A and B are shown apart, each in its own frame.
Chain A
Amino acid sequence: MTPKEGVNVAEYSLTARSPLGGIDQTLGTVTFREAADTAIVSLAIPLGGEAAAFDAIRAAFGVAPPIVGMSCLSADATARLIRLGRDQIFVTLAHPGTCPAALIAARLGDAAYCTDQSDVWALLDISGTDTRSALERICPIDLHPDGFALDQAARTAMEHIGVIIIRTADDAFRLLSASSSANSFLEAVKVSLRNLH
């Protein structure tokens, strides 16, 4: 079989669809919004290469990597670095394409192992007065403002679903859950909100 030659326009094209269908909805005081155009890249720090990796991250993002359980914005505020483990950092950034790992890898060289995680997760931004009251019903970690500071991040589980939770503002959180079960997760959060008051 020989490859097709001289074909510039593909006969077939694929259309993308985000796991939460781009939800942007306000129920009571709480807004649910899918951050569908956000890419996620996981960085794994090579064994023994921590110093080089941290230098490369500093050079690429203009900030030092946060400590485990914290996140921070890059110097230009276009990316967020989330430290999930001693040797694991997630980078989220607004990027509509599907090859963000290559983009980050180009910035970091071989200082970290990059894996695209964009389609693994659904990103749900949830904000508003009742956000904490809704989440506390299903989230086992303490979300009190004194207990879960701004930019803090944690791996946890809600309604049997693994979730990464990041506090992004006073009453705002970003929730990452598996894309295959994203709608079950969204429903779990909505039920928690409906059950209030």
Chain B
Amino acid sequence: MAGADWAAQAMAELAGMNNVRLMTRTTIHGAYDHGVFGALERRTDHLANSGGKPRQILWRIYAKRALLCAGATERPIAFGNNDRPGIMLAGAVRAYVNRFGVAPGRRVAVFTSNDDGWRTAGDLRARGVEVTAIIDTRGGGLPEAPSGVPVIAGGQVVDTSGRLGLRSLKLADGRTIPADCLAVSGGWNPNVHLTCHQRGRPVWRDDISAFVPGGDLPPGMAVAGAANGRLTLAAALREGHEKASAIVGELGQGGATGRAPQAEDEAHEGAAFWHVAAGGKRAWLDLQNDVTVKDVKQAHREVYRSVEHLKRYTTLGMATDQGKTSNIAALAIMAEISGRTIPETGTTIFRPPYTPIPIGALAGRSRGRDFRPYRLTPSHQWARENGAKFVETGMWLRAQWYARPGEKGWRDSVDREVEMTRASVGICDVTTLGKIDIQGRDAAEFLNRVYTNAWLKLPVGRVRYGLMLREDGIAYDDGTTARLGENHYLMTTTTANAVLVFRRLEFARQCLWPNLDVHLISTTDGWAQFAVAGPNARALLAKLVDPPFDISNAAFPFMACANLTICGGTRARLFRISFSGELAFEIAVPARYGNSLMAVLMAAGEEFGAVPYGTEALGVMRVEKGHPAGNELNGQTTALNLGLCGFVNKTKDCIGKVLSQRPELMRDDAVRLVGFVPVDRTHMLAAGAHFINRGAEANMENDQGWMSSVAFSPTLGHSIGLGFIRRGHERMGEVVRAVNPARGNEVEVEITSPHFHDPEGGRQRG
């Protein structure tokens, strides 16, 4: 049977098996940890029309065992002017002739150091192509030449000529051979690349003058065939069968594995021959990077003798080829010059990728709108239909403000939303805040350990503000937690930290305190939650709450929470909490009702002139109220800095408590969170400005702190800011400069309380 027929038959057999996947046009480009292989499938680049399908697919393959049969790459011989068009590897000539039926030249010569080159001559003759000479570097022991082909034993090519392409070769003995194509074979290098991807080092085999895989292979990998130095057909087939059988056994898939196909070993004798010393013409080693034999010698003269230095000094083996054809010859020349053996000289090892991988394949579909998933709030559609401008906060799209006809810019919208909320009532989708359902007999104790303040006495039906610290004592996150039942709490986190806090709490319960009966599950996406804020908030909600539930201040005071129904029986949760400083509630319904509830709240609020408000108005109102947010909880600030020391319970421990009391964090001159107003009320403040005392030079040494958040307060009619300044709490009324070198300006500001709006809290308790 012809080899090609056998191969076709084997492929057909494999294709018919339902536990075998054949991946053609695919290259494994890396062997990564834990048996993971990267593969690039070239999908449509070869088609005239891709049909809208991807060009390539990057596959990640998890393998318990892998058998690497990567074959070998032919290596060239360096000789004078070997970069002329028409000079190519003998294997390439064979592929043109045998696979594509194309003659790469009319008169072809072969220059070889081994028997394999002779195969090329034979194949050319079999197809009727003239072979003008076989030039073999070996002096004797040569195979039999095809009839009529002249053989030059011990011959060496020293130069080539031809203006646009090869026309003739000049030999060391002065003879000229006519040829428009020269097939060169310097032997074969096993493709050991993937065996090196986890620092495996190839070892030298003198008998084939090549590096083969060392013993230190990536876990689960075996190598067979030419890649393992078995350069002939029968040997390769035999080793493939043996190693595959062994793997099948290891995987416990025993059973008969048949016999290896019988084949003959082709002639493969050869003698190491790397470059032609005679002639003095430029002899290229790395055709892609223009590195010649002379360059390697120059590197040696300049003492770049380690292979790593040689590579970087000459650029040998860089770029797409990655040394596949050039490395060994250069190494051999370096060894020759320095009087060492090749293994003594060493080799570079290979890293992924084996072949170039397009960045587009790495990115895949993650581009443009598909760069990452979007999370939409339950009222997203309502917001889109009602003028919302959206902002990305993490993966969420949130309404930033709701533009109304006639408004000239965002400030008009935001000012109106703030004014209407403070005057009557506003509604904001706050679903994005993290919600963590906490249940268990030890839930209160758990909260006591993760929050700085005390939790053991919070009654059912009440909500409390909580502050968390990092292990190092820096403020981490804050929010409110409601006690819904005897052993049932609902924690809220900031939007940004929702996932991080959840993960941290899971770590705490599983690893720090596995003896506590505490269970956590996220319900962030399950409940659509809306802040309803403003003097008319209660009147609006009273229209929706089902009787007999009573939301009067006496029955449902500030920081109360309850399960109830609204709109004729829809399950809901109500919380009397306020971020805006107004009389406010947060109402939650199962997310499926969220879009509808937004519309219902607006309809019910029509008589009060209710407005929807977005994250900008939310931010303005929280600055007016002096609540810290992400800009203040920025990973640098402590409870002391934030003015939240009252929330750090003195009589119990919690995560971060001990380290929060390091002397350096407790300094008297620590920065404190305070408010700032411009002395000239027409000036606008800017976040990021640093505070410098009057009369002091604006430099790092005189830095007193920084402005963290600013807003134009429509309530006060001027710009206001929150910021941190040394001993701020003792400096009320003092004027300092807010210096902004980045913007090249400064503004005089007066230090005030951070609570610009209703500091006594009468409104939110009303």
Contacts and interface: CB of A to CB of B under 8 A. Distances in A.
Interface string B503-530: 0000000000001110101111111000
What are the nearest 7 A-B pairs in CB distance?
A: A10-B568, A44-B519, A184-B373, A120-B526, A113-B439, A180-B375, A47-B517
Nearest to B547: A3
Interface in B264-314: none
B591 A119 contact: yes
Contact of A14 (B375, B377, B523, B596): B596
Contacts of A187: 370
Contact of B439 (A15, A44, A48): A44
Interface string A56-67: 000000000000
Nearest to B554: A1
Contacts of B568: 9-10, 12-13
Interface size band for A: 35 or more
Contact of B544 (A12, A121, A160): A12
Contacts of B515: 47
B66 interface: no
A18 B543 contact: no
B457 interface: no
Contacts of A178: 375, 525
Given A9-B568, A16-B592, A159 B373 contact: yes
A29 interface: no
Interface in A183-197: 183-185, 187-188, 191, 194-195, 197
B590 interface: yes
Given A99-B571, A178-B375, A46 B54 contact: no
A47 B374 CA distance: 37
B14 interface: no
Interface in B579-593: 589-593
A28 to B, nearest CB: 14
B362 to A, nearest CB: 15
B396 interface: yes
Contacts of B487: 113
Interface stretch (B84-92, B130-138, B597-605, B705-713): B597-605
B590 A119 contact: yes
A99 B57 CA distance: 45
B241 interface: no
A5 B590 CA distance: 26
Contacts of B52: 194
Nearest to B520: A44
Interface core residue of A7, A44, A185 (most chain B CB under 10 Å): A44
Interface string B19-63: 100000000000000000000000000000000111001001010
Interface string B634-671: 00000000000000000000000000000000000000
11 contacts: A2-B552, A3-B549, A4-B542, A11-B543, A47-B515, A48-B517, A119-B526, A120-B525, A121-B525, A161-B373, A181-B373
B339 interface: no
Contact of A16 (B395, B437, B516, B596): B596
A17 B596 contact: yes
Contacts of B571: 98-99
A12 B519 contact: no
Contact of A15 (B373, B375, B525, B596): B596
B440 A17 contact: no
B375 A181 contact: yes
A160 B373 contact: yes
B259 interface: no
Given A14-B593, A16-B592, A17-B596, A7 B547 contact: yes
Interface of A: 1-5, 7, 9-19, 42, 44, 46-48, 87-88, 98-99, 113, 115-121, 137, 140, 142, 146, 159-161, 178-181, 183-185, 187-188, 191, 194-195, 197
A1 B596 contact: no
B592 A18 contact: yes
A15 B373 CA distance: 26
Interface of B: 19, 52-54, 57, 60, 62, 365-366, 370, 372-377, 395-396, 431, 437, 439-441, 487-488, 515-517, 519, 521-527, 538-539, 542-552, 566-571, 589-593, 595-597, 600, 603-604
A14 B589 contact: yes
Given A3-B549, A4-B547, A115 B53 contact: no
A183 B521 CA distance: 22
A190 to B, nearest CB: 11
Contacts of B589: 14
Given A10-B569, A14-B567, A16-B592, 10 more contacts: A1-B552, A9-B568, A13-B567, A19-B591, A115-B523, A118-B526, A179-B525, A181-B395, A188-B365, A197-B53
Contacts of B567: 10, 12-14
A85 B441 CA distance: 19
A180 B396 contact: yes
B374 A117 contact: no
Interface core residue of A9, A44, A180, A185 (most chain B CB under 10 Å): A180
Contact of B521 (A10, A42, A159): A42
Contact of A119 (B519, B570, B592): B592
Given A12-B603, A14-B597, A195 B525 contact: no
Given A12-B567, A120-B522, A178-B375, A115 B437 contact: yes
A1 B542 contact: yes
Contact of A142 (B62, B366, B376, B377): B62
Nearest to B591: A119
A2 B542 CA distance: 9
A113 B538 CA distance: 33
A46 B440 contact: yes
Contacts of B546: 10
A58 to B, nearest CB: 21
A129 B664 CA distance: 65
Nearest to B552: A1
Interface core residue of B54, B377, B521, B523 (most chain A CB under 10 Å): B521
Contact of B53 (A1, A46, A195): A195
B373 A185 contact: yes
A180 B376 contact: yes
Contacts of A194: 52
A100 to B, nearest CB: 10
Interface core residue of B516, B592, B604 (most chain A CB under 10 Å): B592
B536 to A, nearest CB: 12
A5 B547 CA distance: 7
B551 to A, nearest CB: 6
A137 B57 contact: yes
Contacts of B57: 137, 195
Nearest to B600: A12
B45 to A, nearest CB: 15
B589 to A, nearest CB: 7
A48 B62 CA distance: 38
A98 B565 CA distance: 11
B524 A120 contact: yes
Nearest to A97: B571
B370 to A, nearest CB: 7
A160 B437 CA distance: 23
B538 A1 contact: yes
A183 B370 CA distance: 12
B526 A191 contact: no
A60 to B, nearest CB: 18
B372 A14 contact: no
A79 B546 CA distance: 32
Given A15-B593, A99-B571, A191-B365, A117 B19 contact: no
Nearest to B527: A119
A1 B551 contact: yes
A10 B377 CA distance: 26
Contacts of B548: 3, 5
Contacts of B376: 180-181, 183
B62 A87 contact: no
A181 B397 CA distance: 10
